[in-house]
């Protein structure tokens, strides 16, 4: 990771808390991690969110899909981060498991973030295609 150690630690904590909001099934908390307008690119299609309720509704759909899949635990690993002032770019690996600890879903997302009054907030998410070349049919966050 590039940037100051404090900023890197803050991003690691940020994404850990973001993942915990999914585990808690808290769509409103998930929406709080974003600054609006925000863009989420899923499978080559951009979705612009300029309304917090729409963003929370999108998060609720993801939570429902994760529940249906049996996902109960989400872990994130910040693979790379580049911090420059109040802007950061991060690549984050996600791993989602069932209650037995078996990994059910793994994916990678690229984030652009800005730092504002409460701390880091997501501006843009781009879901990366799986590294192994297989298709990923589930929505990522």
- Give the pLDDT band (50/70/90) at residue 1: very low
CB atoms under 10 Å from CB of 22, counted, come to 22
- For residue 10, pLDDT over 70 is answered with yes
Give me the pLDDT at residue 133, please.
45
Quick: pLDDT tens for 18-76. Answer: 999 999 999 999 999 999 999 999 878 899 999 999 999 999 999 999 999 999 999 99
Place of tokens 């420059």: 84
Give me the pLDDT at residue 132, please.
55
- For residue 136, pLDDT over 50 is answered with no
Give me the pLDDT at residue 7, please.
73
Q: At what angle do helices 52-69 and 5-23 cross, to 10 degrees?
A: 70
- For residue 5, pLDDT over 50 is answered with yes
- Give the pLDDT band (50/70/90) at residue 131: low
- For residue 99, pLDDT over 70 is answered with yes
Average pLDDT of span 121-133? 80
Beta strand segments in the chain, E: 34-42, 45-49, 73-84, 87-97, 103-116, 119-128
Mean pLDDT of all residues belonging to the chain: 88
Please provide the size of the chain in residues: 141
Give me the pLDDT at residue 130, please.
60
How far apart CA 86 and CA 11 sit, in angstroms, is: 12
> 97 by DSSP, 3-state: which?
strand
pTM: predicted TM-score of the whole model, two decimal places: 0.85
């Amino acid at each position: 990771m590039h940037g100051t150690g404090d900023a890197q630690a803050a991003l690691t904590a940020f994404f850990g808390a973001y993942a915990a909001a999914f585990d808690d099934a808290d769509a409103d908390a998930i929406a709080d991690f974003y600054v609006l307008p925000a863009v989420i690119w899923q499978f080559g299609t951009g979705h612009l969110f300029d309304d917090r309720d729409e963003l929370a509704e999108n998060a609720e759909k993801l939570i429902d899909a994760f529940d249906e899949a049996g996902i109960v635990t989400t872990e994130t690993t910040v693979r790379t981060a580049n911090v420059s002032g109040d802007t950061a770019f991060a690549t984050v690996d996600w791993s989602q498991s069932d209650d037995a600890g078996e990994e059910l879903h793994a994916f990678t997302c690229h984030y652009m973030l800005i730092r504002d009054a409460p701390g880091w907030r997501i501006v843009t998410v781009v879901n990366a295609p799986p590294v192994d070349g297989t298709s990923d049919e589930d929505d990522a966050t």
